[in-house]
Amino acid sequence: MSSLSSFMASQLPIGENPPNSLDSILDHLLTGLTSPSSRHYPRYGHFVSQHSSTLASFLTASLTPSISSLFSNSSNPAPSSLISLPAYPQKDQRPYHGRAIYLHILHGADGTTRLYIGQATNLAARLSQHADFRYRRDNPSLHTYAMQRSARDSFVVLAKVTQPPAELSSRPDLLMNLLEMWCCLLFRTLQTATLRRYLPDEVLGESNVGLNVGIPLDYGDPEAEALGRREFALLRESGDEFCRRHYWYVAKRRDERQGRQLGHGNSSESVPGEIDDGSVPHDTDGKALQRTQSSEPGEEAESGSSGWIIWTVALLGGVMVLSHVLGPPGTRRR
């Protein structure tokens, strides 16, 4: 048994097994990071090994009581059960400006509930960004793509990070990444292939319809950019059609930008597998956002119409000039 497992087992009465998956998932995550074979080892290995017991205790204590209670009854709660969680903010609740991990529950217009988990150094400020349509417009992601196409949503605070013990305070960035990663595994909000790499086999179960693409452990790592592209590519094979649509949406616009840079103009050719619902992002007031791409649905048709107008005007102008040169019908030479 690892030192982490020993610590967690010591918190339970003798003869009892862990009542939920909280401990087993956290133990599996932290133990894996101490293995030299883990790609995260250079960044997390020494920190986790040196402070294993204190770290596990602090992360567990950071969860809100409602989340600890939720996982005492289920190892993988269904999205429908999340309605019982207290939404943030509650009536007359003062904004929380501290560090936190939050859950965003999005009820899609297609009837599907999707989940996203994020971290914030200032929770109130972070949620204000999500509510700002300009921020969503300038920071596109699978999460914002789902927000634009949702019918209603709510936020839930999963954990609050107060003053950590002295031995952990030197790396608040790693603490937040570990806590968010743990929550993403608990709620299964990462892509299925990613969950298989980080969850223990005995608690893998069914994945929820998650909107987290990047791995939280990579946040703040300048060398993880290429790995982020690999995680995004998983959307292409996602079991959720919504995620596949987002992948092709981004791929098509990337190809169009590259085409413009090469002087080839816009490509009107659709990307294989893309299902275009013809929707235009809207802000919270229902007003259509200003289009920032030159290839939004309908723009090619508008461009074609203006071309026909130009040709018609030119043709009429030519007829008028020819009529002036030849003169009135009665004066033409026979």
- pLDDT digits 0-9 by tens, 40-90: 999 999 999 999 889 999 999 999 999 999 988 777 887 778 888 999 998
Final residue in a domain of this structure, among 215, 239, 263:
239
Task: Say yes or no: 129 and 199 in one domain.
Answer: yes
Tell if the pTM clears 0.85, that is, is over it. Answer: no
Q: Which residue spans within the chain are E strands per DSSP?
A: 99-108, 113-120, 150-161
Q: Is residue 291 part of a domain?
A: yes
Q: Is residue 326 part of a domain?
A: no
- Domain boundary among the residues 239, 260, 286 is at 239
**Do 145 and 46 have their domain in common?**
yes
Q: Are residues 188 and 280 in the same domain?
A: no
Per-residue pLDDT at 117: 97
- Looking at residue 318, its pLDDT comes to 61
Q: Which of 118, 124, 125 is nearest to 103 (CA)?
A: 118
Q: Do 55 and 73 share a domain, yes or no? A: yes
Distances from the Cα of 123 to the Cα of 30, 160, 177, 298, 311, angstroms: 26, 9, 15, 39, 57
Q: Cα dist. 298→61, 263, 282, 301, 303 in Å? A: 53, 22, 16, 5, 9
pLDDT of residue 140: 87
193, 222, 239 - which closes a domain: 239
* pLDDT for residue 210 is more than 60: yes
Strand 99-108 with 113-120, pairing? antiparallel
Structural domain boundaries, residue 7: 3-239
Domain membership of residue 208 (yes or no) is: yes
